[in-house]
Amino acid sequence: MKDLADYLRTIPDFPHKGIMFRDVTTLFGAPDGFRMAVDQMASLYGNADADKIAGLEARGFIIGGAVADRLGLGFVPVRKAGKLPGTTISEEYRLEYGTAAMELHDDAITAGEKVVLIDDLIATGGTAAAGIRLIERLGGQVARAGFIIDLPELGGADVVRGLGVPVDVLCAFRGV
């Protein structure tokens, strides 16, 4: 029986030398692996009393959309700046060199809604933290955050926990 990590591919030196890129596209491309990931995430959040699932661009759309469908919840895309057509709010976050921004439609979350934030991987936590702040700015409550992969040495899960959001991960890899 395969474990979830068996479906993931590691690509050395991408996008830079010394980085071990954890690729979820092989998981998404394997029906058994994808189903396993969706089943595991859905089992985590089936009793979360959530109203919506928010997915971070781009791979968070894939897993988050599938989990939202499985649980009968609405799905909210948290996108990179300039990608949403309606009126948006924006939140900047730090990158290794510089900054970037995530956006959310200003009517995507209703005040008081409970939201589960989902992405494929948590590294430094900057993108997830920006997503959490966007949801909270609209009056939403981030009930939990879930990731397929955690890179614990980079501390991102601790950043999210520091914002008061419980974190769930399906597997973790040492190193960067």
Beta strands in 2-151 (DSSP E): 9-12, 20-23, 52-56, 74-80, 88-95, 98-105, 114-122, 141-150
Identify whether 96 is a catalytic site residue. yes
Catalytic residue among 22, 70, 96, 174: 96
Q: What separation in angstroms does the CA of 41 have from each of 14, 60, 67, 83, 173? A: 27, 12, 7, 27, 18
Catalytic residue among 59, 91, 113, 144: 59
DSSP label at residue 72 = T
Identify whether 92 is a catalytic site residue. no
From the number of C-beta atoms within 10 Å of its C-beta (0-12, 13-18, 19+), residue 32 rates as: exposed
The residue type of 65 is: G
Dist CA 6 CA 9 (whole Å): 8
Catalytic residue set: 59, 96
